[in-house]
Amino acid sequence: MSVHTLVEYAKVYEGSDAEKAIIELFPAALDFLSIMPFKPAPGGKYGYYREGKLPENMGFRAINEEPTASHGVVNEFTEQCFPIAGNLDVDRALIQRHGERRRAMEEEMQVKAKAKLWGDTWRAGDSATNPREFTGMNKRLQIVGGDVSASNYESRVIANNQASGGGPMSLMMLDLAIGHTENPNAIIMPKKLKTRFAAANRDTNIGGFVTNDLEDGQRVMRYDSLPIYTGYGISPFGEFLPFDEVAFGGGAASTASVYVISFGEMGVCGLETAGMQVTDIGLTEAGVHYRTNIEHDVGMCIESPYAATRLTSITDAALIK
């Protein structure tokens, strides 16, 4: 099994058309799954290495002088997979009354529930407190040395505003977060912030490198050529990135974060023991429900230490320079 996105996987899935259609719904329900690749993790585990420290022996030498010996530091990491699964039961009487469309509607709702769980775990999962889930971005992206200024390239967290209560998102700080990320190809932010880019682009005092291109029949907003994603947006079950975080400087829990991401095999990548499986079990033994099972044994990793940056302490307000 090769590295693939869910969009690519759905095209080669060997199940029925109905099962394939369910897989295709996931990137629509959680938009950045359209670009996030998954790589194999045989046995539910995946090991990889990161550069810890470069050798210090490089230097000029005199004639007949031996070079200094040294070695680098390589850190080893191991990630695990965690199965996300659910059985969806639909009463046969409902299908008889309303047709197969009622079952399809229930399956779409199941997809939305799984996408919400996946997205929330991607953001705030912590296997140390809940051993059934993988660890998400907020735990993986750490402040180094207590420094959240843009001058600290080691820190994976930058404070948009270090005052109590945070402040409006500064496009300059977003530019710095982009500059702190190696080969970025996505920005993930609250949907409310995304809608503010149009107003900022109309303001000649703010401006910004914002485009809104038509691709495959859909509008794709980009900032500095990077597509903007909003997860599962605003829905009856909440918002993917709500303004419920305490700012770096303290205050009420009324700020949010923006993530600059390099999705890729050597960047932010999903893990799986096998591709997502959708199984139409049919009528259960009791003869009351038609059942559909969805199973995906998944995890995630960040192979490059600079593949993601989190910009915190952002309030729900008009953008500034």
Q: How confident is the model at residue 1 (pLDDT cuts 50, 70, 90)?
A: low
- Residue-level pLDDT at 208: 63
- Which SS3 state, helix, strand or coil, does residue 59 take? coil
Whole-angstrom distance, CA of residue 287 vs CA of residue 318: 56
In the predicted structure, residue 163 carries a pLDDT above the cut 90 = yes
**196-243 per-position pLDDT tens digit:** 887 777 765 666 678 887 777 778 899 989 999 999 877 777 889 999
- Look up tokens 């990135």; give the residue: 241
Strands (DSSP E) found in the chain: 38-40, 45-53, 73-80, 82-91, 157-159, 186-188, 210-215, 218-223, 226-229, 234-235, 238-239, 245-246, 253-261, 268-272, 277-283, 289-302, 308-314
- Residue-level pLDDT at 132: 95
Whole-angstrom distance, CA of residue 44 vs CA of residue 79: 8
- Residue-level pLDDT at 40: 95
Q: How confident is the model at residue 168 (pLDDT cuts 50, 70, 90)?
A: very high
Query: How large is the average pLDDT for residues 70-93?
Result: 91
Please provide the average confidence, as pLDDT, over all residues in the chain: 90
**115-160 per-position pLDDT tens digit:** 999 999 999 999 999 999 999 999 999 888 787 877 777 889 999 9
- Residue-level pLDDT at 204: 58
Query: How large is the average pLDDT for residues 251-265?
Result: 97
- Residue-level pLDDT at 220: 87
- Residue-level pLDDT at 205: 64
For residue 133, give both structure tokens.
């889930």
In the predicted structure, residue 99 carries a pLDDT above the cut 80 = yes
Which of 60-64, 173-177, 207-211 bottoms out in mean pLDDT, i.e. has the lowest?
A: 207-211
